[in-house]
Amino acid sequence: MSKILMCPPTYFGIEYVINPWMDMANQVDKNTVSKQWNNLKDTLEEAGAEIELIEPQPSLPDMVFTANAGLLRDNVFIPSRFKFSERQREMRYWIEWFQNAGYEVREIQTDLPFEGAGDALSGKVLFGGYGFRSSKESYKEIEEILSSEIIPLHLVDDRFYHLDTCFSPLNEESAILYEGAFDDESVQLLKEHISYFSVPEEEAARFACNAVVINKNVILPTDCPETEKHLQSIGFTTFAVDMSEFLKSGGAAKCLTLKLF
């Protein structure tokens, strides 16, 4: 069974602007936020996941996006180094949670930004997105910690500021992604390392690739019919969940989860 870390959206809201989706004039509806988050949690459990929770903290609205806490491989947790000060105050809570849960916490020594499982995703190899939130150079130290090669992927469309907004490995061999989010060299690297389906731009903009994969189940945002059709054609069961309130902050299903195993 997969185990996933989530954070209740008690303090979630648009309190600042750090990506193109955020707009102080486009605030979230708290009741809808709660319904959508609970529906996602219920759907993940229905798909076979066990959910762990971290306690939300006042004045940390983006703590709900647990994917950005850090990178987890086996029992090693590498905390993020957030680019923006608005999120840097989260780190003490993530580190404390993983220490208390018995993980080996290995902080990177560089001051360069690295934003965890938002930008570092596993297929057969580890892919590392850079360009907006994580630095390409930060992956050198992470490669040493994990004794694992990281394939760097350059993100060039600021709507897709984290790798997990435009790329979702389905297993070690295949993925869904949006080619337009990457430069030409990165597209070539992807072709060399994984088989993929490139989702239509309009579905990419609905965060079709910000999906959670649990065995043969894929949980993704609503209104992504071509992506769902492809996934079903290759043997996956799809669960479409309304993520409209979280999309106002530039996040969806994957952003709201961190797979523990």
**pLDDT digits over 106-134, tens only?**
999 989 999 999 999 998 899 999 999 99
What contacts 163, CB < 8 A, 6 or more positions away?
118, 119, 120, 121, 127, 128, 129, 153, 155
* 251: Cα separation from own chain's centroid: 8
d(CA 93, CA 110): 20
Please say if the pLDDT value at position 101 is more than 90: yes
Annotated catalytic sites, by residue? 162, 255
Q: What is the CATH number of domain 2-259?
A: 3.75.10.10
Q: What is the mean pLDDT of residues 214-241?
A: 99
Query: Which residue type is seen at 186?
Result: S
Give me the pLDDT at residue 1, please. Answer: 83
- Give residue-wise pLDDT tens across range 69-97: 999 999 999 999 999 999 999 999 999 99
Q: What is the mean pLDDT of residues 124-151?
A: 96
Tokens 């195993």 locate to 261
Banded pLDDT at 173 (limits 50, 70, 90):
very high
Average model confidence (pLDDT) across the chain:
98
